[in-house]
Structure 1
Amino acid sequence: MTVRQLQSPRGPTSLLVILCGCAIACLTFGPRATVGLLLTPISETNGWGRDVFALSFAIQNLLWGIGQPFAGAVADRFGTRRVLAAGGLLYAAGLALMPLSASPGAMHITAGAMIGLALSGASFSIVIGAFGKLLPAEWRTIGFGLGTAAGSLGQFLFTPFAAALISAYGWQATVLVFAALMLLVVPLSLPLATRAAQPASSGPAARTQSIGQALGEAFRTPSYWLLVIGFFTCGFHLAFVTAHLPPFLLDKHISASVGGWTLALVGLFNIAGSLGSGVLSSRMPKRLLLAAIYFARAVLISAFVFLPVTPVSALAFGAGIGLLWLSTVPPTSGIVVTLFGPRYLTMLYGFVFFSHQLGSFAGVWLGGELYERTGSYDLVWQIAIALSVMSGLINLPIRERPVARLAAAAAPAE
């Protein structure tokens, strides 16, 4: 598709929308991907165990998930620009106040609550909702893949950047640099204004549906609940690996630089995984793609933890899990659009993402808690494998067809 074909008569080109949305996803996902590098120096500076900052990160994930449906509803009602700008400003404030958080409670507020709520308004989830409204229908799942891949690019870029900054200037200066970068979200949000951008293909039935009706319809749809439950596992894996893989490798006497490059490889390879998933989501049943991703995670994690852990195996694991990292997002958001249409995509995907963040909370918190209790991460890895198998099975019965309301609106008049 050419730039001319991507031109919108009512606003910025879709190409500009994609570029700015991807830039926001890259910027906002990057700092939180460095939490595994920050955990040890922050804990050592303040004399804390690993469970303290892990709990801050767990709170961040939980409040991100709680706030996501509400931020999505506001974005659906008033447009994404305001939501993204407010989220970017709150994100910058939370990062800037972290060096002043000398007590666990203060760190839970800044790194946990403030950044968590900020991410609900300024993250790839809101960007994906904007893409669902602003991009042509044939470009939606590919756009979802691009937005997700951009978040991974942020992980790839920010992880070695953070490692270098921490080594040279300390973690306090590192988070202040990140805070300054988050201010760029405000101008980048301008082309993603969506209040007037109602897809013409959504039909009268979709345009007149209220928020309450949309929620009621979704909660009465069994396939939506299967999607919600299955997405818990994705959050568990992502948060646990992000926060605890570098300390896990340190326990295996593998250097922190290897941990940093392992997380960087996760981000790099997830670019290919997310883009590939976006393409495959438009060419095959999305539920089968999701099931395959979860089953593949079970195999990969099992191989990593049950074989000897070396620098080479760690880097190989980073590359492999990267291919499967956020590749769940394009088919998941694509199923939501298929079931209910794009009108309330940001809100309805927000509820699915809430399950993801519950999993994130559990992954981070259990990682720190069980480590302090048992002295190892073995039990958490075993839980991660079991959840992979469970989610693979849960996604198989999903029915990828529009709800009755959309099907009736699309039926030809007699």
Structure 2
Amino acid sequence: MTTQRAPDLKTVLIASGFVLTLAMGVRHGFGLWMQPISQAHGWTRETYSMAMAMQNLMWGVFGPFAGMAIDRFGTMKMVILGAFLYAGGLLWMAMIDQPTVFILGTGVLIGGALACTSFGAVSGIIGRTAPLEKRSWAFGISSAASSFGQFVMMPVEQQLIGHTGWQNAFYMLAALVVIIMLPMAWKLREPALEQASGPQQSITQAIREAFAYKPFLLLLAGYFVCGFQVVFIGVHMPAYLKDKGILDPNVAVFALALIGLFNIFGSYYAGKLGGMFSKPYLLSTIYLSRTVVIGLFLLAPLSSYSIYAFSAALGLLWLSTVPLTNGIIAGIFGVKYLSMLSGFVFFSHQVGSFMGVWLGGYIYTKTGNYDMVWGIVLALGIFAALVNFPISEKPIVREQVAAA
């Protein structure tokens, strides 16, 4: 009988990097479709915002279940499933013009796809492949790959929309997702996890342990804020800038691309620093710094230069929370159920994403501006800085797991 060899860390980081680059890069560009789709179908911004909110919510809902499946059946199979769901979701967005059907289909298909191809999906294989001393660094590399996708894909998506039309842009991206993700998934094959001798912790026991542990609950609260902030800004930034008189769409595209570019460095160094300093303290610092950067952006006179400066500063803090959060989870609970537990934490992130993107559209429709939402973003940033500060990242002390 042949034994399947585990992939080496370099292979895992390259393959998962390609998957994350495309999955997160395409997703970060969805804000570029808000105006063309709304104008083509005669919708308000609230309708498209609801579709994006549903997508983020379902990504979170599916996350823990995708994580369970990955921990049980391996990363490769779920990434393949995610690639086909992603392509189907992009085709759905191109062809459906009925609001309710558009919202539901986009939520289920794209949300399910992202649950199978984003951070939580690859965190398990990275955590199991990387040695302990390199684990935080490896999470930083994977987070940087998703940021590189945002930097690369934002201009690509804008050019596709401008030169081929918004529908054809979806068709071409659907083909690209399948062509790239399937061969990369093959590189993420894992052998069956070796079971240690003695009684083993079950999935149910792992879930109960996590939700009874205060640091895990604080991570949930902080990650809610992360989702609210980044998705509100990512989806509503182009429309916000246009409302403020920045009519050149390339400014918004370049601003979002700058966020991705600078987050390559932010994510990498957050992961690297997480191996040297307290991860909870670093998380608290990131949330507090975000609040300061956003506050200065709102107070400063608006120009293309202030927008680019804001984007660069925010980019350093954008997804730098991801390697630190995954590192804390792995450090506390181990790597056996890492994908599943990361999925639960990410569900909180996506509830925040749902609220951020939907509330942005809802409040804009009611008031005609985003002022109230920016206030909420600032208040939540302070809250997240406070709740992350007291988190302990020490490994949990377990009593001997009772045999089933």
Give the TM-score normalised by structure 2. Answer: 0.95
The reply to whether residue 297 of structure 1 matches residue 290 of structure 2 is yes
Deviations 1:170-189 (A, max 9, x none): 11111111111111212211
**SS of match in other structure, 2:391:** coil
Tell me the distance in 1 between the aligned counterparts of 2:300 and 2:61. 37
The reply to whether residue 324 of structure 1 matches residue 353 of structure 2 is no
> What is the CA-CA distance between 1:211 and the residue it aligns to?
0.3
Residue 183 of structure 2 is matched in structure 1 by 187
> Higher mean Cα deviation, 235-244 or 12-21?
12-21
- Tell me, yes or no, if the aligned pair for 1:75 and 1:346 is still in contact at 8 Å: yes
1:234 to 206, 215, 226: 226
2:251 to 258, 273, 280: 258
Tell me the distance in 2 between the aligned counterparts of 1:383 and 1:176. 36
- Tell me, yes or no, if the aligned pair for 2:4 and 2:190 is still in contact at 8 Å: no
Task: Give the letter aligned to residue 185 of structure 2.
Answer: S
**SS of match in other structure, 2:380:** helix
Residue 22 of structure 2 is matched in structure 1 by 27
> What is the CA-CA distance between 1:279 and the residue it aligns to?
0.2
The reply to whether residue 211 of structure 1 matches residue 186 of structure 2 is no
- 1:273-352 matched pairs, under 5 angstroms: 273-352=266-345
Deviations 1:144-166 (A, max 9, x none): 11111111111111101111111
Residue 114 of structure 2 is matched in structure 1 by 119
- Tell me, yes or no, if the aligned pair for 1:89 and 1:186 is still in contact at 8 Å: no
Residue 412 of structure 1 is matched in structure 2 by none
The reply to whether residue 137 of structure 1 matches residue 132 of structure 2 is yes
Deviations 1:282-301 (A, max 9, x none): 00000000000000001001
- Tell me, yes or no, if the aligned pair for 2:8 and 2:129 is still in contact at 8 Å: no
- Tell me, yes or no, if the aligned pair for 2:63 and 2:115 is still in contact at 8 Å: yes
Task: Give the letter aligned to residue 193 of structure 1.
Answer: R
Task: Give the letter aligned to residue 327 of structure 1.
Answer: S
- 1:69-108 matched pairs, under 5 angstroms: 69-108=64-103
Q: How many residues align?
A: 397
> What is the CA-CA distance between 1:111 and the residue it aligns to?
2.5
> What is the CA-CA distance between 1:204 and the residue it aligns to?
5.0
- Tell me, yes or no, if the aligned pair for 1:95 and 1:115 is still in contact at 8 Å: yes
Task: Give the letter aligned to residue 217 of structure 2.
Answer: W
Tell me the distance in 2 between the aligned counterparts of 1:405 and 1:191. 34
Tell me the distance in 1 between the aligned counterparts of 2:17 and 2:339. 16
> Higher mean Cα deviation, 187-196 or 88-97?
187-196
Which runs of no fewer than 5 residues in structure 2 stay unpaired? none
> What is the CA-CA distance between 1:134 and the residue it aligns to?
1.9
Do the aligned partners of residues 310 and 195 (structure 1) sit closer, same or farther apart at CA in structure 2, a change above 3 Å counting? same
> What is the CA-CA distance between 1:11 and the residue it aligns to?
2.7
Deviations 1:194-236 (A, max 9, x none): 35245x9xx657x811101111111111111001111101000
Tell me the distance in 2 between the aligned counterparts of 1:357 and 1:193. 27
> Could you list the runs of 4 or more consecutive aligned residues of structure 1 that deviate by over 6 angstroms after TM superposition?
none
The reply to whether residue 245 of structure 1 matches residue 240 of structure 2 is no
**SS of match in other structure, 1:370:** helix
Tell me the distance in 1 between the aligned counterparts of 2:158 and 2:123. 29
**SS of match in other structure, 1:264:** helix
**SS of match in other structure, 2:91:** helix
Residue 56 of structure 1 is matched in structure 2 by 51
> What is the CA-CA distance between 1:90 and the residue it aligns to?
0.6
- 1:150-161 matched pairs, under 5 angstroms: 150-161=145-156
- Tell me, yes or no, if the aligned pair for 1:77 and 1:195 is still in contact at 8 Å: no
Deviations 1:305-326 (A, max 9, x none): 1222211111111111110000
Tell me the distance in 1 between the aligned counterparts of 2:357 and 2:4. 45
Task: Give the letter aligned to residue 291 of structure 1.
Answer: S
> What is the CA-CA distance between 1:247 and the residue it aligns to?
0.3
Task: Give the letter aligned to residue 308 of structure 2.
Answer: L
- Tell me, yes or no, if the aligned pair for 2:148 and 2:261 is still in contact at 8 Å: yes
**SS of match in other structure, 2:398:** helix
Tell me the distance in 2 between the aligned counterparts of 1:158 and 1:111. 20
Tell me the distance in 2 between the aligned counterparts of 1:91 and 1:37. 18
Tell me the distance in 2 between the aligned counterparts of 1:227 and 1:238. 17
Task: Give the letter aligned to residue 206 of structure 2.
Answer: A
Do the aligned partners of residues 108 and 195 (structure 1) sit closer, same or farther apart at CA in structure 2, a change above 3 Å counting? farther
- Tell me, yes or no, if the aligned pair for 1:55 and 1:364 is still in contact at 8 Å: yes
> What is the CA-CA distance between 1:113 and the residue it aligns to?
2.0
Do the aligned partners of residues 204 and 368 (structure 1) sit closer, same or farther apart at CA in structure 2, a change above 3 Å counting? farther
Residue 221 of structure 1 is matched in structure 2 by 213
Task: Give the letter aligned to residue 163 of structure 2.
Answer: A
> What is the CA-CA distance between 1:12 and the residue it aligns to?
2.8
Task: Give the letter aligned to residue 101 of structure 1.
Answer: I
- 1:327-406 matched pairs, under 5 angstroms: 327-405=320-398
Tell me the distance in 2 between the aligned counterparts of 1:384 and 1:369. 15
- Tell me, yes or no, if the aligned pair for 2:56 and 2:353 is still in contact at 8 Å: yes
- Tell me, yes or no, if the aligned pair for 1:95 and 1:110 is still in contact at 8 Å: no
Tell me the distance in 1 between the aligned counterparts of 2:340 and 2:315. 27
Deviations 1:61-92 (A, max 9, x none): 00000000010011111111111110111111
Deviations 1:113-147 (A, max 9, x none): 21011111111221122101122222211111111
Alignment root-mean-square deviation, CA: 1.7
